Chains A and B, each alone.
Chain A
């Protein structure tokens, strides 16, 4: 058992910078000014911006959950997904926009967790925007150094004998955790399996919901 020589953790609390109403108004004003100036220059049009907003709003948890549920239900699909995540997702007609998707599988022998220490890299084309905490200084600084304590903060206590693999998503790959399939879900439909998959379980800071949840 390590001694608690990391009590300095509590000395460096840095709150997130969150826009208040005025900040949001200013942001809206600046974004509108940028858009109209770029339109004036012939670089973009308002219509294109609206379509692109719709495109980036549409991915979300449901796409990742669909991928996970299929991998749980179909071992052949799982093998192909782990080999090439982008191609695996494409089998489900899910288009990964980033260069490649690396799916890392949780097993009794390893628990995976994803972080981008340098900025906020996240598989946005399938999961949508990352949660604010994923972009926070505290998560980005601490997860690569003390992952078990970070998981504890999220309410996840791993058995001491399970190794942790932390993936720093710092370049062209994007990562998805394939969580452990909950017990008691044998024979479940993919839709029912998908309902147990949470965003946080695909980042690696939580387990999926238990079978009793669906």
Chain B
């Protein structure tokens, strides 16, 4: 019996990451408002089946790492000025992330 693929989690809490725009159609759980933005991994949630596969009935795919990533509200929204500590935390699957560029944000 084939074992299910389980890629190693590439990121850990504290890592700075950028959300990619993969240009994929179909059922995607990475909202547009965080794509291209950079934030910090705050939690590794575990490995889960990919909803992009599940939505088309494919249950044999890999289990992929899922993280919670934190973004500053004032990075996400131009002109946001309520409090510099206001944040947005969202779950992002591993393949939607890349290490953030080392340049300042």
Knowing A164-B83, A172-B91, say if A118 contacts B31 (CB, 8 Å): yes
Q: Which of A100, A163, A168 sits near B31, CB closer than 8 Å? A: A168
Q: Which residues of the other chain, B, contact A172 by a CB distance below 8 angstroms? A: 45-46, 48, 66, 91
The interface size of chain B toward A, counting residues with CB under 8 Å, comes to: 29
Q: Are A163 and B91 in contact (CB under 8 A)?
A: no
B88 at the binding interface (Cβ < 8 Å): yes
Q: Which of A160, A165, A171 sits near B87, CB closer than 8 Å? A: A165
Interface string of A146-173 (1 = CB under 8 A from B): 0110000000000011111111111111
Tell me which of B5-13, B18-26, B74-82, B97-105 binds A.
Answer: B74-82
Q: Which residues of the other chain, B, contact A164 by a CB distance below 8 angstroms? A: 73, 82-83, 86-87
Q: Are B82 and A171 in contact (CB under 8 A)?
A: no
Q: With A and B bound together, what is the CA distance between A102 and B43 in angstroms?
A: 10
A195 to chain B, nearest CB (A): 30
Q: Which residues of the other chain, B, contact A144 by a CB distance below 8 angstroms? A: 33, 76, 88
Cβ contacts A to B, 8 pairs, < 8 Å:
A99-B46, A144-B76, A164-B83, A164-B86, A168-B31, A168-B88, A168-B91, A171-B93
Chain A interface (Cβ within 8 Å of chain B)? 2, 5, 99-100, 102, 110, 117-118, 144-145, 147-148, 160-173
Chain B interface (Cβ within 8 Å of chain A)? 29-31, 33, 43, 45-46, 48, 51, 66, 68, 70, 73, 76-77, 79-83, 85-93
